[in-house]
Amino acid sequence: MIKLLILGNTGLDEKNNSTNLRMRKIFEILHYQKECFLDYYKLRDAKLNVPHINYLNKDANSNPIKAFLFLIKVNSKYDLLIAETFNASIAAYLYYLLRRTPFIWRQFGTTFNDDLNFKNYFNPKILLKLLLHKLIASSNGCKAIVCTEDGCANSTLFLDKLKILKNKFYIVKNQRTENINLKKTNCKERQTFNIVQIGRINSWKKIHLVIDVIIDIKKERPDIFELIQFDIIGIIDDKDYEMNLVNNINLYGLENHVFIEQNLQYSEIEEKLHNSDLSISLTAYNPIIESLQNEVPVITYEYGEVNSIFKDCPAVFVLAKNIKKSTNLSNTEENQIKKELKDKLIESFYKREKLHNIGIEGRKFVEKEFPTIEEHSKEIVDIYMKVINAL
């Protein structure tokens, strides 16, 4: 039996979100079809209780040095390590130096390319991180780098900046939901202009920029503002950030137009989408796919490589195509996103029926271009097995 060690960062549990579904399926295939034994070191808390995953540590710890020191005390010989995240790859690389056990760097997406502007090359922390990326990715121990496509600049980082060999780098399309029970409402049957934002509620999602735009619309176009309903749906990652959103909603009199809703079931999220004219997903990638599957056009901005992914999809409106980063935005860049977003929302308000027709094309695009969870999981496992068989 093949023995694998997973340095896991996916927060495994019983929830039916996209990350959990695909990771559970991948581990099931590895164990039951490919006869792999799975040890799992928790970099992030994991509560999924299944017989084919053997957790090594009780309390999660993301520190790579502590992970390495823990793992060298484990009395097991592994055929391969799978390192989920950069920190995991550091631990895997150190383990390789000591035990000569090869590893796969499993990167779900990275914003590190955002830090690689000219002035940051003189920042010691950025320089060290860059050198570690290059050292680990180019090492003989790293047999493959596998990224999940998420709109961030993954190809730019590994191929253009780090100059990793193309035959070592894999980017796998994110999965779509296989069956959507579509019950769209007719926009002619309601007066309101319904907008939705799905995803974790934190500063990286740039929700505050949308709130700023709605505040501007209230001042400049009160006729449009009166018909806006904006639903922010997700899990709160940052309580302080959420409180700032709530304070601004109340301060500017948006409480009858902007709503924060937490912990909705997937069926409830689908119902929200079925009643929406437009989805805003400035950096959240999975919600772009979810929205399109439910025939809801999406506004995003170019935070990495999202434009190249959706350039042929008429239902994805990509703003600020010159920015190409999701972090460290300047005031000028944020203002550009807000201006383009405001213009697009006002334009879309007058084209709700057209949005409905464009949304249908969006669903066709996703069903053609994106794999089901079965197809996605098989592609990941096939890459793993290709590496294992070549050892």
pLDDT in tens, 173-221: 999 987 666 666 666 667 899 999 998 899 999 999 999 999 999 999 9
Q: What is the pLDDT of residue 186?
A: 66
Predicted pLDDT of residue 354:
93
Identify whether residues 165 and 259 lie together within a single domain: no
Q: Over the stretch 53-109, which tens digit does the pLDDT of each residue have? A: 999 999 999 999 999 999 999 999 999 999 999 999 999 999 999 999 999 999 987
CA angle 124, 126, 129 (to 5 degrees): 105
Contact 363, 294 (CB under 8 A): yes
Residue owning tokens 């069903």: 367
For residues 153 and 279, membership in a common domain is answered with no
The residues that bridge with 104 in the sheet, in sequence order, are: 82, 144
Interior CA angle at 276 toward 270 and 279, to 5°?
90
For residue 21, name the pLDDT band (cuts at 50, 70, 90): confident
Q: Flag whether 163 is in a domain.
A: yes
* Structure confidence at residue 91 (pLDDT): 98
Per-residue pLDDT tens for 352-377?
989 999 999 999 999 999 999 999 99
Q: Which residues contact 90 (CB under 8 A, 6 or more apart)?
A: 64, 65, 68, 132, 136
Is 302 in the same domain as 200? yes
The vertex-337 CA angle with 334 and 343, nearest 5°, equals: 140
Q: Residues 334, 381: one domain?
A: no
Specify whether 365 is located in the same domain as 376: no
Would 181 be classed as within a structural domain?
Answer: no
Does 315 lie in the same domain as 202?
Answer: yes
The residue ranking higher by pLDDT, 190 or 334, is 334
Both 204 and 171 in a single domain?
no
pLDDT in tens, 241-269: 999 999 999 999 999 999 999 888 878 88
The reply to whether 206 and 300 lie within a common domain is: yes
Q: Is 342 helix (H, G, I), strand (E, B) or coil?
A: helix
pLDDT value, residue 185: 66
Residue 285 banded pLDDT, cuts 50, 70, 90: very high
Does 21 map to a domain? yes
Read off the pLDDT of each residue in 227-232 and give the average, rounded to a whole number. 97
Specify if 236 maps to a domain: yes
Q: Pull the structure tokens for residue 252.
A: 């500017």
Q: Which DSSP category does 10 fall into?
A: S
State residue 201's pLDDT score: 93
Average of per-residue pLDDT across 275-298: 95
User: Residue 254 is which amino acid?
Assistant: L
Check whether residue 256 and residue 362 sit in a common domain.
Answer: yes
Give percent above pLDDT 70 in the chain: 97
Residue 336 has pLDDT above 70, yes or no: yes
120, pLDDT greater than 90: no
Instruction: Provide the residue range defining the domain that includes 6.
Output: 2-175+372-390
How many domains in the chain? 2
Average pLDDT estimate for 309-334 = 96
Give the model's pLDDT for residue 266: 79
CATH assignment at residue 67: 3.40.50.2000
Regarding whether 271 and 209 lie in a shared domain, the answer is: yes
Average pLDDT across the chain, whole number: 93
In terms of C-beta density within 10 A (0-12 exposed, 13-18 middle, 19 or more buried), how is residue 168 classed? middle
Domain membership of residue 156 (yes or no) is yes
Among 305, 300, 303, 316, CA closest to 366: 316
Q: Are residues 197 and 142 in the same domain?
A: no
Q: Report the pLDDT value the prediction gives residue 239, as an integer from 0 to 100.
A: 93
Q: Indicate if 122 and 200 belong to the same structural domain.
A: no
d(CA 232, CA 225): 16
User: Could you tell me where the beta strands, DSSP code E, fall in the chain?
Assistant: 2-8, 36-42, 53-55, 80-84, 103-107, 142-148, 169-172, 193-198, 228-233, 258-261, 278-280, 298-301, 316-319
Would 182 be classed as within a structural domain?
no
